[in-house]
Structure 1
Amino acid sequence: MPAPIGILGGTFDPVHNGHLRLAVELAEALELAEVRLVPSARPPHRGAPIASPGQRAKWIRVAITDEPRLRLDDRELLRRGPSYTVDTLASLRRELPDTPLCLLMGRDVMAALDKWHEWRGLFEHAHIVLVERPDTDTELPAAVADEVERRRVGDAADLRGATHGLVHVCTPPPLTISGTRIRELLAAGRSARYLLPDVVLEEIQDAGVYRREPAPA
């Protein structure tokens, strides 16, 4: 069976070092062939991204130029309608029928999983890797917790023996960086250096994406 592929979704508004380092850590820990960064066009459960789809895709592309384990997957940006993860996984499964797919998500995201569109259908197309962080102890809804316990495997190697349907819990080293904080810094005219790749920061500053307009006199 081919090596598993990781799927890391989000708005990536903007992509930053927390996203990139997490993707590399999980690629190594889970022995993934690659991790696909999948920017959402119209996230159903949060506000629309500030940066355009084209800008966010470009920033990911330039950020991962020298990292062969990471890949931009822009299918949600090209698809009309809400960016439902189950549709994305179904599309990937049609393209990769024999490859294990691993949907990577934090506990804070999984805590709202029961509100996702056809959330139980995720397990028909992929494994879920629950990424734990020391600063997050959010309780999972009962229905989600039941699915996690029923499908949970302790060894990441088990993810390579099936194409979908399992849950594995992984705790990578912590690296706390948020897109919200980066946007706030840039809007205030403060430095966001070392929080995201220099090449991405330069693109953002050149375009003035998050710059706060001065109040009228």
Structure 2
Amino acid sequence: MELFSFFNSSASYRVRIALGLKGVPFEYHPVNIRTGEHRQAPYVGSLNPSASVPALKDGDFSLGQSLAIIDWLDAHSPEPRLIPLDPDARARVLELSYLIACDIHPVNNLRILKYLQDELRVTPAQKDAWYQHWIAEGMAATELLLLLAEKHYGGPWCFGKEPTLADCCLIPQIANAKRFGCDLSQYSLANAIYVHAMAHPAFIQAEPKNQPDHIAP
């Protein structure tokens, strides 16, 4: 198993958590998205046509997009399951995961921020305001979904006693928000899950600072 990853990529971070939770060994290949390695022909042509990270390669099979990768891992290494089999539980986990991965993350990823800065010429203050606005809107919705989940499933994870895909998505999003100086103090459930997760070996191992391509700020 080979993982093509960038240390600070939220999507890569999700997959590293999933691999750690499942105990799947992998070879780490850094892809520096800051210098455009993800857009070079060998990577795009053979691993990830969307020119993004991560990509997972298993023999002749390769796959991009973090949620698709984690779903594939669930099919091939089903224990522990990260996407429940029960239809209702599955839908709830996907609802929260999609909120983070489809609503919050895309408008704040590196290529969007670079476009704002390089093409639209927004100021650093305006770029920060953009980031913080979408984090606040998305995290408010996340907190409401976590409140609903707590009533039905309890804690200490997003959906009960074991981590799921939702935790794989939530923790990287919080980590990025913290890196950008967002005020997360009002999201008590999300913060409690984050604190709990950061004591778990799989989440510690997946942290950006613990990757071989980590670049100090």
TM-score between the two structures when normalised by the length of structure 2: 0.31
Greater fraction helix: 2
Greater fraction strand: 1
TM-score between the two structures when normalised by the length of structure 1: 0.31
